Amino acid sequence: MLDERSRTLLKALVEHYIADGQPVGSRALSRFSGLDLSPATIRNVMADLEEAGFVASPHTSAGRVPTPRGYRLFVDNLLTVQPLEARQLGAMEEALHGLPAKQIIASASQLLSSLTHFAGVVVAPRRASSRIRQIEFLSLSDKRILLIIVTTDGDVQNRILNTDKTYSPSELVSAANYLNQNFAGFDFEQIRQHLASEIKQLRNDITPLMSLALAAGDAALSENATPYVISGERNLLDVEELSSNMKRLRELFELFDQRSSLIRLLDVSNRAEGVQIYIGGESGIATLDECSVIAASYTVDGQVVGSVGVIGPTRMAYERVIPIVDITAKLLSSALSHQSIGN
C-alpha cells in the first residue's frame, strides 16, 4: 500500500499528464504537488512508483507517465469526480426529451460523443432471440462452407465457415437435415443445450461442423438482435496517442464495425451496478490496450435492457467523463421508461 506522500505525488502526476499530455518531471511535480519536497526526494519516490508498476519512463524523456495500473489506482482511490453543472445537465435532458425510442438511442450516442469528444456507444435493448426456420450448408471450396440461416421472421443471414476437413455434399445435406428436422423453431441457445446432451449420438465427422455452425449462427443473430449505435469515432483521429499508430487505429475502427466483441464487453456492465471502468488491457480486447472504456447500464421500468459507454484514450479526464456516462444512462432510462408508460 502506498504511503500518503506517494499517493499525493501519483495523483499530481496523473492529473498533470492528463491535462498536458507530456511526461512529468520531478521539478514540475515539486511545483504541482503542494508538497515541500526536494526534486531529489521526488525522484526517489518516482523510482519506487516505477518499480511498483504505477508509472513508466518513456525512452525519449526524463519525465514519467502513468501506466494502466497507475490510472487504476488513481480512478479507484484518488479521483474526485466533478458533478455536472446545472446548465449542462439541463442541456442533456433537453437533448433526449420527447423523441421516438430509436431517435433517443441515437441522440444518447451523439450526446456522449459531443460532451466527451471521444466515441459514444449505446447498445439498444435486445429484441427477442430469433428462431430458426431453416439452415443450409453450401460448399464453396475444399474447406470453406457457406452457412445460410433463415429465421422465422424471414431474416436471412449468411456466414462463411472455415473447416479443418473437406465435407462431401451428402454430409452437408445430412447435417442440415438433422438440424432442420430436430430444431426448427428453436433459437441457437436452445439448439446448443439440446446438442450438448445428444452430441455422442452424432456422427463424429459432422460434430466439428455442427460446433462451427452454432458459433457462427449465434454470433450472426446476436449482432442482428442487438442494435448498436456509435457516434464520434472520428474524434479518435484527433487523439495523438491513438492517431500516431495507424495500424492500431485501423484495428480500432474494424472493432467498431465488427461490433460483437464490444457488445460483449458492454454487456458485462449490465450485470454490475454503477459506472464500470476498463483501463487498457482490463477490457480483454487487445485492440483496446491503449484505450479506456467507461460504461453504465440503463433500464426500462426497472429492468436492465442495455448499456451506454465512452471509448477514448487512457489519458482522459475521468472526473468529467464518468459523470457524463452516469447521467446519460439515467436520462436514457427515464426517457425510455416514460415512453413505456405512455404506450
Alpha-helical runs (H) found in the chain = 4-20, 26-32, 39-51, 68-73, 86-95, 101-116, 169-183, 188-198, 207-225, 240-243, 246-258, 260-269, 318-342
pLDDT digits (tens, 9 = 90+) for 195-206: 766 655 565 567
Q: What is the pLDDT of residue 72?
A: 97
pLDDT for 115 = 95
The span from the CA of 146 to the CA of 162, in Å, is 9
Q: How far apart are CA 37 and CA 219, in angstroms?
A: 57
DSSP states of 269-294: HTTSSS-EEEEGGGGS-GGGTTEEEE
The answer to whether domain 4-78 has CATH 2.20.25.650 is no
Residue 324 to residue 142: CA distance in whole angstroms: 52
Determine phi and psi for 287, rounding to 5 degrees. -65, -25
- The mean pLDDT of 275-279, rounded to a whole number, is 95
Q: DSSP letter string over 1-57?
A: ---HHHHHHHHHHHHHHHHH-S-B-HHHHHHHS-----HHHHHHHHHHHHHTTSEE-
User: Which amino acid makes up residue 297?
Assistant: S
Instruction: Determine the pLDDT at residue 223.
Output: 60
Whole-model pTM above 0.85?
no
Q: Is-contact 246 211, C-beta < 8 A? A: no
As a whole number of angstroms, the distance between CA 278 and CA 322 comes to 12
Burial class, 164, CB count within 10 angstroms (exposed 0-12 / middle 13-18 / buried 19+): exposed
Question: Could you tell me which of 329, 318, 284, 286 has the C-alpha nearest to residue 118?
Answer: 318
Q: What is the DSSP letter of 155?
A: -
pLDDT tens track for 46-69: 999 999 999 999 876 678 999 999
Cβ–Cβ under 8 Å, residues 67 and 53 = yes
Q: What is the mean pLDDT of the chain?
A: 86
pLDDT for the residue numbered 116: 96
Tell me the residue type at 283.
S
Superfamily (CATH) of domain 86-126+227-342? GAF domain (3.30.450.40)
CATH architecture of 132-225: 2-Layer Sandwich (3.30)
In contact, 343 and 100? CB cutoff 8 Å: no
Q: Where are the domains of the chain?
A: 4-78, 86-126+227-342, 132-225
